[in-house]
Structures are given as structure tokens and as C-alpha cells.
Structure 1
């Protein structure tokens, strides 16, 4: 019944189906049908009542008319129900079709919107998105791909993917895609294939990373690749690697807030000699045995307040070498502002500090030379006056006079004083290291006398020089310097306690079988000078480095590290050799080997000294010290000369200008007020070029020697402690004049 109501066209002859249907006609039929049934009964009742009342006329006509109307009404009602049902079903079918069309349209619109959204996402992606079919022809090429490969989408679509791959990689790419399609793996993560190369439309290759996936659609495989240009990233990584490499070479360490080392670069490892494994986790100040210029608490207070600290520290390397470093500490904090770690950058300034110390010592020596030069002239004048007058007194008195011994002691004391001044001047002034054949014993004696004046009284100096030491070719000043450096080093090793420094000298022959025992020492005859001290000694590591320039174990300000290096250099210049032996607590011994000179010593050829005498030559003597003028007049007159003396150089020049032929030679002091000896010599030589001029002084500088030579001065003599040296110079001058 329900099916017939839904489809009245297939059950149109069923009266019951029409009545039971749900259409509008069936509803109206069900509502009017009771009326159609009840109406004949009503009309029959009315006719029966009319018969009894005899109201109506012919009863038959009225009954037929009524029955006909009822039948027609029912038929019309039935036909109307059928028509209304059909119209209702048509409207329903049209409504269903409209609903179906609306749902399809909505689905299509949703699909289109989804596709547009997907296209928007793909084309707004930062990475290139490329889809290819199974034949590797491009089906999708987003905006990022256009920018990356410098190719428009319309130019790329339908083209083989190989045009965007360098030719040398295309075969490998094809094999990879084929294998990828066969494995059934649907995707591979970005970078899983490593760094690949892409090819731009302009032919430029660039590094890329690729994530690839595959799907099957309509029986065809589609491959989608997400491509990322990693050029900038690689540049950044390379820059970081370079920066890290530079940082690793830097002399940098990083420590935490407890001063434990957490970073130890190769540069700092090279500086201190500790490997990373030895340094990491150690307390930096314990590892390096840091010596601070101020309390560590004060340094930390400045570090936490300012965020950095810089200053000079003393550190010890793994080999025990002490070094001075310029240290910069930088405090790093976390995002809460709490101290996190400290970066420390160290620069070795040991050599610079030692050079500064050496420069200071050099300046001190220069100042000493200036001071010595300033006082030497006046001091030697005093000594010359004492010595000269004492010698005259000795000559005037009889040999058995009771004061003769005292006078001789005065002369000896003045001679030692003059020699000491001469040594100071020689040691303090700069001069070329010219060498000559010398007897080393008196030179060593002079050096020890100078050393004794510099060492504290608690250090005892002993000497043991063998008889018959052979001559050597050497520079006396440098021998003095060797003695000074060895003695000073020994005194520092002895320290504050009493000790002994002993110097020994002997002649030693080195045979060929023994030469190998002393490195770089050839067979031959040597004078061996040994210096032994009772100091603290040293270990083997320190002993290996004692001849290195600027190497010192002394605290800052107490040593330059140049003493033994200078000794080593002097011995090398002399063709000799120096060796050292030491043990901790047992002192040190240094042996110096000087090659014996093959030249005959001039001193050995000298006969007994004979003071040459004059033959009445007329001398002009000029000195600003009147006592010396008087002394030299008396001394030179006793040697046979006629002497005219002046203490004023201007007066002497005036007399000479008036009577230039009156004199056979001129002797002048170098340092005089008003007019120097050089200026006086220049004026005299200008007046009479051939006259011999002798210049004397208690302090002669290299520049004085150079100017005297330029002026034509015949002799430049260190102011003698007796007249004999001046007499010898006069003898040489007059001998040359007679030969000329």
C-alpha cells in the first residue's frame, strides 16, 4: 500500500491504493468520502419522510435525480484525487532533482575551493615544489621553483626534469628514481639524500636538498619533490667553520664560575703545552700556577662589576717555563643575568717584558757610562796630580829615605784607582768587539776586581789560575763582561745565604778522540775558564734552556734572561765553546773554552820598559787644571823637553797664533771649558797643518776618536797615570816627523 501510494501510475485501477495514498488528492478523497456515503442515506430519509407527509410530487424522478448527482459527485471526486496525486508526485520528483543538483554543485564548489587553497599553499611555499609524471616530465612548478631555477612555470611544464639537473648527475638521478619507484617507499625526508646540485636556467649550479614522495593516481605514478636552496646555509656553515677554526687557533680558554676549564683551544694548548685532555675539568689557576698582580677576590669583583678584566699574569707552562701573559677576561651571563662562564684570552708578552727589562738595563748602562764619563775626567785629573807629584817626590828623595815606602804605596793606590775607573769606562761604553792577542790572566784579574765591587759581601770570590796560561785572541772588554755575567748569575743562584763563586783557568789540550765529548769543539789547545758556584742548581729541563735569549727563572724585575745568552754569543764570536753542568741543590759549573792564539804576543816581544827622552823639543801644553800644567811641565822637562804651559786654551791659541814656529808639538786636554781640545786642535792645525798635535783625556768616546782622526790629530791618549805613556806618544810622533 505504501509502495502504491508512492507510485500511483502503476496502480491507478486500485481503489484502495488511491484512498490510502499520501497525495493531496487521496487526502481530499478520504475527507469527502464519508459525505458521499452519508448523502444517499440522508436523501433516502428525506424521500421517506416526504412520502409519509405527502409533501413532494413524483417520487421516482426525484430519487433518480438525486442518485445521479451522487454518482457523478463520487466519480468527479475520484478523478480529482487521481489528478492531484499525479501533480503532487511530479512536484516531488522535481524537488528531488533540485536537491540532487544543489548537492553536486556544492561539492564541486568545495572541491574548487580546496584546489585553489592547495594551489595557494604550494605557490606560497618558500621551497620549490615540483611534480613530475612517470616519464619525468614536469606537471607542476610552483613560484619558488621559478625563482630558484630562473625559469617560468609555463616554460617548465611538460619539459623533462633533467634540464634542472647538471648533466653529470642525470644518469644517477634516473637510476635513483627507478629504484625509488620500485621500493614502495612513499617518501624520503629532506636531506636524506645528502647535498645535491641543481642547475639554473642560466647554467649556474647550486647546492640543494630534496625531499621526494610518490603517489599513484589513475594507474599512473606521480613524483613530487620539495627542493631547498642551501647556498646561503652552506656559506654560513663555512663561515662558522672558518670562525671556529680561527677561534681554535686563538689563545683562548673558557672556564665556568668555579674556574674549571670547559674549553681549551689548540692555540692555548700550544702556548702552555697542555693537551685538551689534560686541561679540561682542571682548575685553571692550579693548572697554570697563576701569580696574580692583586688579590683574586679584587679581580673577581672588577670582573663581575664591569663584565671584563684585563691585566698581566704570571703562568707556568707544562715544561716549567715561566711566562708573563697579557690576559683579558670577559664575563658571559645567561638570560637571567646570572654569571655563566668566563672567556680568557692570553697573549705571551714574556719576550716583550724581557726586552723592556733589557732596554732598561741598557739605559742604566748608558746612564752609568754617561755618569762615568762625567766624573772620569775630573777623577783622573786628581789621580794624575797625586801620582805625578808623588813620583816627582820619589825621584827627589834618596832611595833610603823613610817616606819612600809610603810614597810608593800612594802611587800603587792611585794606579789601582785609575785602573778601576778605566775598567768602568770600558765596560759601560759601547765599542766594536775588536780582538787582539792578549795574556788572559791580567784581564781575568781586572774582571774579578770589577766583579768584587758589584757582589754582596756574603758571596766569596775565589780564583785559581794556573801558571803559564797561553795567550788567546780576544776582546778584553768582552772577557770582563763574561766575568760579570757569570758572577752575577752565580750570586743570584746563591740567593740570600752565604756562598762561593770560584773561577779557575788552565790550559787544556783537546785530542780528536775527546773532541766528540764536547759538542762543536775542534781538536786543539784551549784555555779553559771554569766558573763554579754553590747556588741552588737547576734541573735538566732548565739546563737545556739557559743559553736561550730572555730565558730566566728569576722573578720579574730581577733578571733579563740575557746574561748567559750574551756569554754564549761572545764565546761563539771567539770561536770557542761554553758548556754547563748542574743538579738541583748542588750548584752549577760552566766551562768556557778559548782557542789559544797562533800569533806571537806583542807583549812577549817587549823588552824591559825604557822611558824615551826628548832632545830639547819645544812643547805647548794646555790643560784647564793648573796643577796638572805645573806637574807636566816639571815631568816633561826632566825628560829633556822644553815646555810652555797654559791653563786657558784661548790664551794658548793667542800665543800660538803669534809665534806658530815657536813650538815643535802641541799637547792639549780634550775636555776644557770655553774651548774644547778638538776646537783648539782644529784652530792650531789650520794655522800650521804640519805640526803634531797630541790629545789626552780621562774619558774618550768613539765619536771623539772619529773627530780627532778627521782633524788630523796624531795621537789620542787616555790620560795617563804617569808621564811614561805620554813620553812614549811623543817619541812616536817625533820619530814619524823625522822619517817624513
Structure 2
């Protein structure tokens, strides 16, 4: 506490105030109020102006914060509670001065910490916004990844070729549906197994090989194509399929190898078709050969028939050999018809159809083939048999083969029955609805041995 006169000199100060300002008592009283104030807005500008106004009697707030200057130059934050009184005829300002420097320092520390916390909070808010942005990006990427994964899965399912993905150790990572069907292994059971357990490869032109070796080749060579020859894939059930296989390594953008992808194409049907086409090619070649033979044979038959005609003229109609010559001529004409069929076959032509009596053709063919044998024929013709649209030569050949089988089945002789009838109900046969003639041939032969029956 201290009191100051109107001339701005100290009148009284307690020891605490003198000590707070860093003075000794004699020196303190030699100073004026200006010596205790720093040259700043909280010092001289504020305290001195209020002191002078208070001395003049201006009503001012009693309490206010200010700043004092200690003897050693330290600035002291204080609270001044001042009032003016009359003492011995003089105007005296009495002030109670409290040092709040430590409170100010604490306040400044708190404010600084508050600013730091606020700055940190703002930084956290910024990081949180960035984190939320990153989170949203991750959510978007995950959704896109899920869509791409779904599209990839749908694509793999729809691919007709088998797709097998493995890691670098050759263990199964993924199979699509086509690969499941080919190998006989479902994805749930195959995952994690060495690919060599799923199936083996072999072929007529290659040695049997473990498919795990193929994976090693893919990852080592950066790709593999082993479809230059058909390979036989033996699956879980032991079924063999003909396949083509190609493979590629799976690598990251940094070049790290993660595994391999094998594409397995089932070409079993294609392989069968190629074999059938090869057979057709052979048949075509055989047809050309048959055509050449038939042409040459037809020339020979022409010469034979011509000579037979001359022989019949020389022998006369009533000659003992005229009947034999007639039969030879009939057989020769049949041979001509056979060569004509061979020529038709070699040229890929259609049968030459015409309307004819099947009964007459049957009687003529059977009588000719059974002549001189110990087999008797019995014809059963039911009603008026309609004419049929046939190639007589080809039907005659069919009947010829059936009767020859009958003769071979009854070496000791016997009976053969030929039944001919009109039919319209053919639902039990793969035929279009219409009118047909049914021919049934039965004999008393031993039949086909059981071991030869399917």
C-alpha cells in the first residue's frame, strides 16, 4: 500500500510495496510516481493520467490493472485500487497495489496453451476432414473394387474356357465354373491344394506331365503355350478330356510375381470332329478309288454282255444253254447296276428313285439267289401291295444281303418266309406319318451268337 501527494511524490509506502519495486526506503522516497511507471500504455499513459485526474477530483473507477517498473527494470503487472482523500489540507491519493505478475504469467501461459490447443484442434479438425475425405475415397474404392470383383467373377463364370489361378507355389487360388467341370473339383475343395493334385496331362505325342510343372514354367518363362499338340486331361473321376492349355504369370506393377493363371480349353468335341473329318476324307478317297474300279469293271461288264448277246445269237433260242446264258446275262446286268451304285457313291450322288413293284423285285431277287439251293422260299402277300418310290438297284442290294445271310444261317437247308403288307401306323418308327410297305423276312437259322449281340 502507498500514498502519494498531489506533487506526485510518495508520502508513505509500506515495506511490501518498497520491496516489490526493489528499492530501499530512503531511495524510494526520493523518487516521483513517474519513476515507477514504464513508458507504455499500461504504465505512464494509464496510471499517470488517472492519478492526475483523480487529484483534480474526477470520478474514476477505483480498481484497474496497470504495469509498474521495478528498480532493476522488471515490469510488474499489478491491480491498483485508488482513492483520493484530504489529509492536513492536502489532496492525497491512497493506492493499494497488488502484484499479479504471477497471475498474468499464468494467464499468458493459459492463453498460449489455449492458442496452441486451439491450433492443434484446428489441425486435428483439418486432419479429421482429410481423414474423412480419405475414408470416403476408400469407401468409393472399395465399392468400385467390389463392383469390379463382381464383374470379374461374372466374366469368369461366363467364360467357356477353364480358368485356374495359382500362387507362386502352384497352389490353387481360384477356379471358375468351367474349370470345376473340367477337373471335377469344386472351388471350396480345391482352394489351397497343389494344382498337380487336380489333374494330370498326357497325350499321344507328349509324355505324361504334372500340371504343377506347367505352373513353374509359366512363372519362370513369363508365359506358356503348350497347345501345339492335343493334351489328354485326366480329371478327378478319371475321365479323359482333350484340351489346349496356355498360361501367364500374375505380376504386380512393381514386377513381383504373385502366381500364374492357366487357361484350359476343352477341345474334345473339336478333336472328335477333326477325326470324323479325317474319316470323311478317307471315305472320299475310297469313293474316288471305288469310282475308278467301278468304271473299269463296267467296261469289262460291257464286253461280257456284248459277248453274251453274240453267244445267244449263235446258240439260238432253243439251245440247251440258252437258259443258262439268260441267267448269266441277268447277273451281268445286276453287276452293271452295282457298278452304277458304286459310281453314284463315288460322286456323292443321291439314289435314283422311281415307282416300282416291291413284290416283283422281291420274287426276282429271292428266286435268283435260292436257285439250286436246298432252301425253299414262302411268300405271304397281304392284299394289293401299293407301288413304292425306291431305287431298285439299292433295294435289290439290301435284299440280296439279307437272303445271303439267310443262306449262311441255314447251311443244312430250311425255309425262309417273306411277308409283304401295307402299313400306315408307323408311330413306333422314326418316320413321318404316311403310307408305307413293310417287308418281314424270317428263317430257321441258328441266329446271331449271344457274344456278338450288343
TM-score in terms of structure 2 length: 0.50
Return the structure number with greater strand share.
2
